[in-house]
A and B are shown apart, each in its own frame.
Chain A
């Protein structure tokens, strides 16, 4: 081309990946300008200028009234599924509530006849090519297609043609974590927008167009590479993307759901622990604007395996002089043994892993106040963010919390000169390097860890199992300084005890 070079700059759009879900109220000061109001189904609601109708509904917990596929509060608006249409008075056509900005004095009907007919039409189209394989689909029970069919859909379909089948994408592993079944896809493209705009890894694309539009990894050989793949399966409205770890493990209606915190890193993402009869099946993120938004990373999502591990030590172990092995015993025996050991030691050091709750930290500090020095230890060094979203380099949840109660970090030379080291650690912090001292381990350990210690000639005197994060109450202070408390999500089924009773055993006091 003969003409001059073009300078084209793209406007920078910052993504707000945490959308507010709290109502807004006008300034009570009579001179202040009141907030605009929109009427939804006959009731007026105040909103912040710039909100879409959907966002207003979200603020006031009316989200049940507006079904949606492509809309997700943490992603840019697409407006393509056409499920969230509402009737706006004076507008000639139905409007998509996700993309239409609310206006002052606007009157919105979410359940008029016209709206319901439109939603019924959309469901008719989406179900036409859907395989309806709910009995073998993992999403059944938490599937938006099922729910909305029940609520809005047609009872029967006149689709007599052969259904669309993506032969090569019926069970396709997009990575070792996520499986794709393209036949079930409703083409909402949440997943594509997630990898484009949230993780910014551009892992997924839609190939082709029209009715044979197909989801695929951008590079088929590499597959999905982002660290938040589990989120894809959370917000996939149908069973198109399923998480391999949970796939075919449990029907979702058997699951009990309890809120807790993820202790996989110093971010402290809010999670829901899904368990059946106290057996944890998966973690799912729950929305917290200040901490994790809508997401959580895969590492944290899979971290429940540490606690649900068959090799986790859930019974006290004591070193048996005769056989030279650690042998399982009861708490009475273990208490006597460790108590004697603690009393006979001349100099004791307590290394508190930064995966302990702040309350546990205070208990430990109090229990050993005149007996031993207490230092905290994470083993991961200073914390830094690993990406622009959530992941942190410090893989323990409470470094800031223990720092706040006045504990100091473990220096490499601190261990020397002690003849007993008590390591308290709940499965996340790294073990300190111990050479030549007697060691009492308290907390969450796996058989493998103990065996590694033994082969490296560490004299483990006793192992006292305690409760894991999801099994106890407490609070963590995350890397940004937010303190979050949590309660037990599951009941521990082994012989592990809560920290106060273990401390009592150690120092020989009734607590």
Chain B
């Protein structure tokens, strides 16, 4: 069998290459659409949660938290101070802003109904009647397609009042963000959803207690929801078997950078990074030098480390993370300090500016890398980068500071000789390298 895994079959993307796959008719006719919903509505909510728990589905947004467990944290009958029942909200995190990640967009444009069905099942499971889809601000077309899909689902009676005669009501609303990376963090997303500044909240209280508009809320990734119909329809055993012991199912991997066939691949988890690069057509234009395995905030891996498997636990053991499944491949023409600077500039721009360490540290690191590239660096700087990263990591409200230190620290640790050479020779000019266009463009901050 393909990919050395006899249980594997595409969960989300079996038909994404076929014309018309985004329509509701295609989904119902060819993909057993909304069958899982029918089945789920006949089950008790706790049974649905149990099913998802047993499937070992883990959150696909980056942190990899078990979805069934997250759902079970939702209070069954929340009441406010006066004893009136409080509504619960289900939120879909479609703020896919991680550099190198583009899997959710494929789901939005090619198989939106799978996600909608997943959300309705989720709403049934946690007892919520209202769902929000928080969409990244830049996704204009995707937003229109999703709205069309929601309208179609309403027309067919999968959304709205008394879905499929079960007495269960569920409404879905699209909310567009304003284009901030940090709003992909679940509490910042909730703030943004409420119309506030997109700044992460202090935890506790967790969203399961105090979420959107102060009500218990559950936030899940697009891909997580899209996997739910399969679990309900085909059974959790089948889904769990595809994955590893502690995380079931498949993963959508977006491969980009120096490969021949960049794109989104739905793959089992027992593949190594090298194998994934092979599937994506192999390294283009030179030898493999470094890989960022899980979106820009995951620490880099050297070419020699790329035998590591891509499931959550193996990557964590290798000192990096599975993140959001965006693999960025770099060949040996890439100047690592320069590539890291590009990432740091992104982080400098996207830090929300709440916590001291992150606000000042991300700025400081980016300026420091820039100075090294311009030829003003010293060997001490490299030690000081490690010190700054040490002061940042794990000290802030959200994981953004850790995300900044991921590429910065790993690049200096793993490619220190390159930095040293750059410092010795006086920056990019010294190694006969033109400053790449992207730096000049981003020079003046908005």
Contact = CB atoms under 8 A, between A and B. Distances in A.
B357 A125 contact: yes
Interface string B360-392: 111110011001000010001100100000111
B198 to A, nearest CB: 8
A78 B359 CA distance: 15
B394 interface: yes
Nearest to B401: A82
A129 B359 CA distance: 11
B7 interface: no
B80 interface: yes
Contact of B351 (A1, A2, A126, A210): A210
Contacts of B161: 4
B160 to A, nearest CB: 7
Given A209-B180, A210-B363, A121 B353 contact: no
B445 interface: yes
A8 B195 CA distance: 13
A286 interface: no
A473 B302 CA distance: 77
A211 B348 contact: yes
Given A8-B213, A211-B353, A128 B364 contact: yes
A239 interface: no
B409 interface: no
Interface string A208-222: 111111000000000
A122 B214 CA distance: 31
Interface size grouping (class) on chain A: 35 or more
A11 B354 CA distance: 24
A211 B356 contact: no
Contacts of B392: 121
B353 A81 contact: no
A8 B132 CA distance: 13
Contact of A126 (B147, B197, B352, B360): B360
A211 B214 contact: no
Given A80-B356, A99-B202, A210-B348, A159 B364 contact: yes
A81 B171 contact: no
B151 interface: yes
Interface in A79-96: 79-83, 85, 93-94, 96
A182 B216 CA distance: 38
A210 B344 CA distance: 13
Interface in A49-108: 69, 77-83, 85, 93-94, 96, 99
B154 interface: yes
A121 B391 contact: yes
The A interface is mostly helix, strand or loop, or mixed, namely: loop
B362 A80 contact: no
A106 B202 CA distance: 20
Contact of A11 (B159, B214, B360, B376): B214
Contact of A187 (B171, B356, B362, B394): B356
B350 interface: yes
A78 B182 CA distance: 17
Contact of B395 (A10, A82, A211): A82
Given A79-B202, A161-B367, A186-B356, A6 B130 contact: yes
A455 interface: no
Contact of A4 (B171, B384, B396): B171
A303 B396 CA distance: 43
Contacts of A125: 356-357, 359-361, 364, 391
Given A2-B154, A10-B214, A161-B368, A213 B391 contact: no
A328 interface: no
B240 interface: no
B213 A3 contact: no
B355 interface: yes
A305 B355 CA distance: 40
Contacts of B351: 209-211
Interface in A334-358: none
A9 B174 CA distance: 19
B171 A210 contact: no
Contacts of B348: 210-211
B372 to A, nearest CB: 11
Nearest to A3: B171
B307 to A, nearest CB: 30
A263 interface: no
A118 interface: yes
Which residue among A10, A11, A80 has the maximum number of chain B CB atoms within 10 Å of its CB?
A80
Given A3-B154, A8-B213, A125-B361, 8 more contacts: A10-B213, A79-B202, A118-B395, A122-B356, A124-B391, A125-B364, A129-B360, A209-B180
Interface of B: 80, 130, 147, 150-151, 154, 159-161, 171-174, 180, 182, 197-198, 202, 213-214, 348-357, 359-364, 367-368, 371, 376, 380-381, 384, 390-392, 394-397, 445
25 contacts: A1-B174, A2-B151, A3-B159, A3-B172, A4-B161, A10-B213, A10-B214, A79-B397, A122-B357, A122-B391, A122-B395, A129-B363, A158-B381, A161-B367, A161-B368, A164-B363, A187-B356, A208-B353, A209-B197, A209-B351, A210-B348, A210-B349, A210-B351, A211-B360, A211-B362
